[in-house]
């Protein structure tokens, strides 16, 4: 997650553009000067140091000297430092200060493209060669980055360098961009013996200080496994297969399987360990690979609709010109095969990912009431699904997303749409106001999955992102009315029979709970709030404090304190929540003429006992 740090209003507009244009970026604002940021801080040096220590890339819209003085005490090993870029407030220049070969140079170029400025790159290799050997393009990995210094120095000095290519010959143009330099090329690894060498291979080769090993992502690993196969077993099988074929894990483009296995933890764990994506093919795609399989399994066909999962998935990912580098190997509960492509494999273009559904609560509506986790989940999603008003409340966060807006009353339709999109392998955020798990969409997501209407929905990765609920916002505005035991009850009888609601109200009254009433009235429901008031009046006094909070976190926010006896449905609408105190809830006059509400927990009694 890249932290875009802005210290003053002069750089805020550019910072917001950078957050929108950079992947996985979050706005960090200096609290005394920046009011609206996902993360706010008061100590500039301390905040920058903390981000750096955590390994987060930093884009700082401030003077380079501020960043340098803040981070200087932490500088230890340049090979482990995150990218740090200082950017002028007007975007005229982006200076990579640290981590130039670990993303800072590329980050500076991206910033310059967004801001219309210049990337002030000073790394010699980048400037004179046009690339950094220890920070290769996507699809390449370096086995021994410590050797890059010697090779780069030789190229810059005009000394001869051998380039031996054993894999992905047609993908080496970024190296051939240095043809004006004394770069001697050979194919198949059979070059002469200059002092410095570059070897492009997918083998598990061992380099030294004068031999830089570059691995193109030409290998596709296919995995089949029983449900619940252990991570240890699948990991051991994959590593055993790579070793058996003398292939490098750094040349692996991705882990591939059939869509039926999209939720298998072991497959995803192996992908994470190798630092590559896990992707999945429908059965018909693997069936098309039948002529290239080394063997066919009747059992696999009956269970999956294709004749082989591991080999089929590896070959489907590696492409039509690929061949098996290692045919299917078995362990007790898993199979593994490796295919080799003559070209670099773009795993993101193969099959589809598992697909994810983030069920996000955005709080009361304004940006300041959203959690950083909620904003990150929304930024990470490609599709946003929700009630039209909730999507509108996202403002700039929704820019660039595919929006799927639904009207009020279409709750099941919108959740079905979100699950269907996620089952296609897309990254989806289902938006609710408040907290999605409190009288909102989260429970319906799991209900639909349990119904089994679509087997693919159960394989979607569902993540709940909490939000600030209306009762929490109201309580915070009022003081601390939820300071002791409380409950929440919805007065809507659309989904819950009214006798059940009455029973719960009676239980809350008998238990002397503070009660948060959600959905207290609607255009057609005007009697339920009166009935709830009367039930509670049987167990608590007429002057019990009651708060009516309306339009929380939005324009027109209003709070009113009354009593239980005086509670009138005419004062409540569909945008309101009602908090009814317990027998111990207190009203306290404020110096400004207003009132606080709080429910004590009994500390006064504890203090008296201690005396």
pLDDT above 90 covers what percent of the chain? 74
Q: Strand, helix or coil at 318?
A: helix
Higher pLDDT among residues 544 and 196, named by residue: 544
Backbone angles phi, psi at 385, to 5 degrees: -120, 135
380 contact partners, CB below 8 Å, separation of at least 6: 24, 358, 427, 429
β-bridge partners, 96: 85
| Closest C-alpha to 224, from 303, 116, 152, 284 | 303
Instruction: Provide the token pair at 526.
Output: 């005007």
The alpha carbon dihedral of 376, 377, 383, 388 has a sign of: negative
Of 172-176, 294-298, 372-376, 395-399, which range is least confident? 172-176
The alpha carbon dihedral of 391, 393, 394, 399 has a sign of: positive
Q: How confident is the model at residue 368 (pLDDT cuts 50, 70, 90)?
A: confident
Task: Output the pLDDT for position 553.
Answer: 84
Of 45-49, 83-87, 392-396, which range is least confident? 392-396
Between the alpha carbon of residue 315 and those of residues 75, 258, 283, the distances in Å are 45, 12, 13
Task: Output the pLDDT for position 474.
Answer: 96
Task: Output the pLDDT for position 173.
Answer: 81
| Closest C-alpha to 517, from 579, 597, 441, 450 | 579
Of 203-212, 269-278, 437-446, which range is least confident? 203-212
Query: CA 263 from chain center: how many Å?
Result: 17
- The answer, yes or no, to whether residue 104 has pLDDT greater than 90, is no
Mean pLDDT of 19-47: 90
**DSSP calls for 461-480:** EEEEE----HHHHHHHHHEE
Burial readout 199-210 (b: 16 or more C-beta within 10 A, e: otherwise): bbbbbbbebeee
Of 123-127, 490-494, 569-573, which range is least confident? 123-127
The answer to whether the CB of 550 falls within 8 A of the CB of 558 is yes
Q: Read off the pLDDT of residues 308-364 as tens digits, 9 standing for 90 and up.
A: 999 999 999 999 999 999 999 999 999 999 999 999 999 999 999 999 999 999 998
Out of 206-210, 260-264, 396-400, 590-594, give the one with best mean pLDDT.
260-264
Q: Read off the pLDDT of residues 432-479 as tens digits, 9 standing for 90 and up.
A: 999 999 999 999 999 999 998 899 999 999 999 999 999 999 999 999
Mean pLDDT of 397-409: 90
Task: Output the pLDDT for position 180.
Answer: 47
Mean pLDDT of 483-510: 96
| Closest C-alpha to 206, from 245, 165, 248 | 248
451 contact partners, CB below 8 Å, separation of at least 6: none
Mean pLDDT of 496-510: 97
Neighbours of 123 (CB within 10 A): 16
Between the alpha carbon of residue 343 and those of residues 139, 176, 223, 303, 517, the distances in Å are 10, 16, 21, 33, 62
Instruction: Provide the token pair at 372.
Output: 């950083």
Q: How confident is the model at residue 1 (pLDDT cuts 50, 70, 90)?
A: confident
Mean pLDDT of 234-238: 98
Backbone angles phi, psi at 140, to 5 degrees: -125, 150
606 contact partners, CB below 8 Å, separation of at least 6: none
Task: Output the pLDDT for position 129.
Answer: 54
- The answer, yes or no, to whether residue 184 has pLDDT greater than 80, is no
- DSSP E strand stretches across 457-604: 461-465, 479-480, 486-490, 514-518, 545-550, 558-563, 576-580, 586-589, 595-598
Task: Output the pLDDT for position 610.
Answer: 55
Prediction pTM value: 0.77
Q: Read off the pLDDT of residues 511-521 as tens digits, 9 standing for 90 and up.
A: 999 999 999 99
Task: Output the pLDDT for position 190.
Answer: 47
Instruction: Provide the token pair at 116.
Output: 């219309």
- The answer, yes or no, to whether residue 421 has pLDDT greater than 90, is yes
Measured N-to-C along each axis, helices 104-115 and 12-21 cross at an angle, to the nearest 10 degrees, of: 120
CA distance 356 to 371: 20
Q: How confident is the model at residue 369 (pLDDT cuts 50, 70, 90)?
A: confident
Q: How confident is the model at residue 127 (pLDDT cuts 50, 70, 90)?
A: very low
Task: Output the pLDDT for position 357.
Answer: 98
CA distance 400 to 405: 15
Neighbours of 227 (CB within 10 A): 9
Region of residue 138 (phi > 0: left; psi between -120 and 50: alpha; otherwise: beta)? beta
Average pLDDT along the chain: 90
């Amino acid at each position: 997650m890249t932290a875009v740090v802005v210290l003053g209003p002069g750089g805020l507009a550019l910072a917001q553009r950078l957050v929108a244009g950079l992947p996985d970026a979050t706005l960090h604002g200096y609290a005394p000067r920046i009011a609206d940021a996902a993360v706010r801080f008061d100590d500039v040096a301390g905040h920058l140091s903390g981000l750096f220590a955590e390994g987060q890339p930093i884009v700082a819209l401030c003077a380079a000297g501020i960043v340098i003085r803040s981070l200087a005490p932490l500088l230890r090993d340049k090979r482990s430092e995150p990218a740090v870029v200082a950017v002028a407030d007007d975007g005229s220049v982006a200076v990579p200060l640290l981590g130039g070969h670990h993303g800072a140079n590329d980050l500076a170029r991206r910033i310059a493209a967004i801001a219309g400025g210049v990337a002030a790159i000073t790394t010699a290799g980048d400037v004179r060669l046009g690339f950094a050997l220890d920070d290769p393009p996507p699809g390449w990995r370096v086995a021994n980055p410590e050797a890059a210094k010697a090779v780069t120095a030789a190229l810059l000095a005009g000394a001869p360098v051998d380039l031996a290519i054993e894999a992905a010959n047609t993908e080496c143009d970024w190296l051939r961009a240095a043809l004006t330099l004394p770069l001697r090329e050979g194919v198949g690894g059979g070059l002469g013996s200059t002092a410095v060498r570059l070897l492009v291979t997918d083998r598990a080769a061992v380099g030294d200080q004068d031999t830089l090993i570059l691995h193109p992502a030409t290998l596709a690993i296919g995995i089949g496994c029983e449900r619940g196969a252990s991570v240890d077993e699948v990991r051991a099988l994959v590593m055993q297969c790579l070793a058996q074929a003398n292939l490098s894990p750094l040349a692996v483009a991705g882990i591939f399987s059939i869509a039926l296995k999209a939720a298998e933890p072991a497959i995803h764990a192996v992908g994470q360990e190798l630092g590559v994506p896990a992707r999945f093919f429908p059965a018909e795609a693997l069936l098309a690979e039948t002529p290239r399989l080394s063997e066919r399994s009747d059992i696999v066909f009956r269970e999956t609709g294709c004749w082989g999962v591991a080999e089929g998935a590896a070959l489907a990912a590696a492409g039509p010109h690929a061949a098996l580098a290692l045919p299917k190997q078995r362990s007790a509960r898993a199979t593994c095969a490796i295919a080799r492509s003559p070209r670099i494999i773009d795993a993101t273009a193969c099959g589809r990912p598992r697909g994810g559904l983030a069920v996000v609560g955005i709080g009361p509506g304004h940006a300041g009431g959203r959690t950083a986790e909620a904003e990150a989940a929304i930024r990470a999603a490609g599709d946003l699904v929700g009630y039209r008003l909730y999507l509108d409340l996202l403002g700039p966060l929704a820019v660039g997303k595919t929006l799927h807006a639904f009207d009020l009353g279409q709750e099941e339709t919108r959740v079905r749409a979100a699950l269907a999109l996620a089952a296609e392998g897309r990254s989806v955020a289902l938006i609710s106001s408040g907290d999605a798990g409190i009288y909102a969409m989260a429970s319906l997501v799991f209900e639909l999955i349990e119904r089994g209407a679509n087997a693919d929905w159960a394989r979607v990765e569902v993540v709940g992102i909490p939000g600030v609920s209306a009762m929490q916002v109201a309580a915070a505005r009022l003081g601390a009315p939820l300071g002791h035991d409380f409950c929440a009850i919805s007065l809507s009888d659309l989904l819950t029979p009214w006798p059940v609601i009455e029973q719960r109200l009676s239980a809350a009254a008998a238990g002397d709970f503070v009660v948060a009433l959600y959905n207290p009235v609607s255009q057609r429901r005007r009697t339920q709030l009166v009935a709830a008031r009367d039930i509670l009046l049987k167990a608590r006094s007429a002057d019990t404090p009651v708060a009516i909070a309306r339009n929380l976190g939005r324009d027109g926010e209003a709070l009113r304190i009354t009593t239980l006896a005086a509670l009138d449905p005419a004062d409540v609408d569909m945008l309101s929540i009602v908090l009814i105190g317990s027998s111990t809830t207190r009203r306290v006059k404020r110096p400004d003429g207003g009132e606080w509400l709080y429910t004590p927990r009994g500390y006064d009694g504890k203090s008296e006992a201690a005396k």
